[in-house]
Amino acid sequence: MAGRLSFTVGFLIVASVGLLHGACAATTYTVGDDLGWTVPPNSSYYEEWASQRTFQIGDSIFFNSTTGNDHHTATEVATREEYDNCTKNMGKIFDVNAGVQFPLDANATRYFLCSEGTHCVQGQKMIIQVGDGIGAPPSFAAPSLAAATAASALFFSTVVIFFLN
């Protein structure tokens, strides 16, 4: 009887430790930690930062740029080639001076850069491998389409205003 009870209690403890561990597994990483998201001291800074961490589904990355007067963006581009090229005006562009968070919602390899001036060329860029890194981020297509729609809406309203004047 006593043996059975302690077995049950032991099982419950193991089960709740397992649950706690599961609950703690989702982590929000502040990109660059105390440095935040800015022009780094060397061009491999953020790639090193990311390679020292293990990202998994459920985690988030938070871009914070509060120091200095420089303006920064967190731009996600679709391919390694665009990343290597520091391609601008593609993908999702977020003004990060208020901070922006990206949920890592699927195993994928994701490419982020700052599209201000030469910041990307100076190393303000980062590759995030989520899990096994296989596959495209599912959140990529829809928001970039929405951004394209917004851009063309802006273009057409500009054209309309031009003709009205």
Ligand X SMILES: *[C@@H]1O[C@H](CO)[C@@H](O)[C@H](O)[C@H]1NC(C)=O
Which DSSP state fits 33? G
132 contacts ligand X (rule: CB under 6 A): yes
* Cβ-count burial 33-67 (b if 16+ within 10 Å, e if not): eebbbbbbeeeebbeebbeeeebeeebebbbbbee
Distance, in Å, from the CA atom of 93 to the CA atom of 102, rounded to the nearest integer, reads 12
For ligand X, the binding residue among 16, 28, 44, 157 (CB under 6 A) is: 44
75 contacts ligand X (rule: CB under 6 A): no
87 contacts ligand X (rule: CB under 6 A): yes
Binding mask 46-75 for Cu ion (x = CB under 5 A): --------------------------x---
Distance, in Å, from the CA atom of 113 to the CA atom of 73, rounded to the nearest integer, reads 7
119 contacts Cu ion (rule: CB under 5 A): yes
48 vs 95 by CB, closer to ligand X: 48
To which H or E segment does residue 149 belong?
helix 141-164
109 contacts ligand X (rule: CB under 6 A): no
Rule CB under 6 A: which residues touch ligand X?
Answer: 34, 36, 41-42, 44-45, 48, 64, 66, 81-82, 85, 87, 99, 107, 131-132
